[in-house]
Amino acid sequence: MLETNPGATRPRPSLGDAVRLAAWAYTPFQRLAARDLYGLLATRAFTANGLYLNLGYWKTARTIDEACEALATLVAEAAAMGPDDDVVDVGFGFADQDILWMERFAPRHITGLNVTPVQVRLARQRVQRRGLAEHITLIEGSATAMPLPDACCDIVTAVECAFHFHTREDFLAEAFRVLRPGGRLVLADVIRAAPEPDGWRQRVQDFNWNQFAQKFAVPAANADQRAPYTAKLRAAGFETVDVTPIGEHVFPGWHRALGHDRALFARLPLAGRLPYRLLLNFDARTVYGAFDYVLASARKPTQKGVLNGAA
Ligand SMILES: C[S@@+](CC[C@H](N)C(=O)[O-])C[C@H]1O[C@@H](n2cnc3c(N)ncnc32)[C@H](O)[C@@H]1O
């Protein structure tokens, strides 16, 4: 849990930004790049304490704050994060996950990359206030063109953001490049669900995916289902690839929380509240049936040839 007084770190959104967000939400086919979208959202985030921007992992969590921390923890545990690790975390939002990881898992260093300038600026201040500036370096930059040298880290993480990347394949190539041999990649990611057999449900799936892709800056190249997604991880050179669906612990919990937690609902941007109010009339399967939420992990091969040769 980060701030106990989030109001202090959440400046009121400007009227201009609120109008621009409403124009984005209600004008059909209007798109925003991820950087512009998150720039307009400014400090509107989901959690009461801290500024997480993910849907959360609700297996045991009872509040959005617990769920967002649980998702970050799940990713760190899947990466077996520990004191010997240099971590590169892409799409870090406001760095809540990086602060949590540094305090709970104590990796050697975390380098964060994020395309949204307002998030980078605020996240740096938060890391500084927490006394972690020596251990966490936050850079404005893209996951698809990392301003980092080859083989500089042991773990690459991406918490609920790789669907935005232009493209996810370019990011995988970059992750492979910056990882040391034997390094681990872990993503909490949103991909396309397999089509429902029922024609009506399939049309709802298509509509919901297309709306999501158009409004939330998802390139067409990232509309993979699980098998091609797994194949792309392998094609990038990774081994021991595992793609586990965890949507049953994400979407229903998030949907339930939006229906019951008035404070969470009130933290949504004004422009988003009407669409969400309508969506709450449907069950989670209908609303989120187009999406597969996955925890993906993979490893860069060790240089067996070199080690064997040296032995
Ligand atoms: C849904 S938010 C998730 C933020 C954070 N991981 C969390 O869980 O709270 C997506 C994040 O991805 C970042 N992002 C989008 N495209 C990016 C890119 N190409 N490179 C790096 N970050 C990117 C956004 O700025 C935003 O911080």
What CATH number corresponds to the domain at position 272? 3.40.50.150
Q: Is the pLDDT of residue 246 over 90?
A: yes
| Cα 290 from chain centre | 18
Q: Which atom of ligand 1 is nearest to the CA of 53?
A: 9
Do the domain assignments include residue 299?
yes
Interval 196-223: pLDDT, tens: 988 888 999 999 999 999 999 999 999 9
List the domain range (segments joined by +) for residue 89: 20-310
Do the domain assignments include residue 273?
yes
Residue 190 Cα to ligand 1 middle (Å): 13
Label residue 22 by pLDDT band (50, 70, 90).
Answer: confident
Q: Return mean pLDDT, the chain.
A: 92
Interval 116-156: pLDDT, tens: 999 999 999 999 999 999 999 999 999 999 999 999 999 99
Q: CA–CA separation, 306 vs 287, rounded Å? A: 50
Q: How confident is the model over 296-301, as a mean pLDDT?
A: 98
Q: CA–CA separation, 117 vs 256, rounded Å? A: 32
Which of 71, 83, 49, 220 lies closest to 158, judged by CA?
71
Q: Please work out whether the CB of residue 55 comes within 6 Å of at least one atom of ligand 1.
A: no
Provide the β-strand partners of residue 158. Answer: 90, 187
Q: How many domains is the chain partitioned into structurally?
A: 1
pTM metric for this prediction: 0.93
Q: Please work out whether the CB of residue 144 comes within 6 Å of at least one atom of ligand 1.
A: yes
Q: Which atom of ligand 1 is nearest to the CA of 116?
A: 25
Do the domain assignments include residue 14?
no
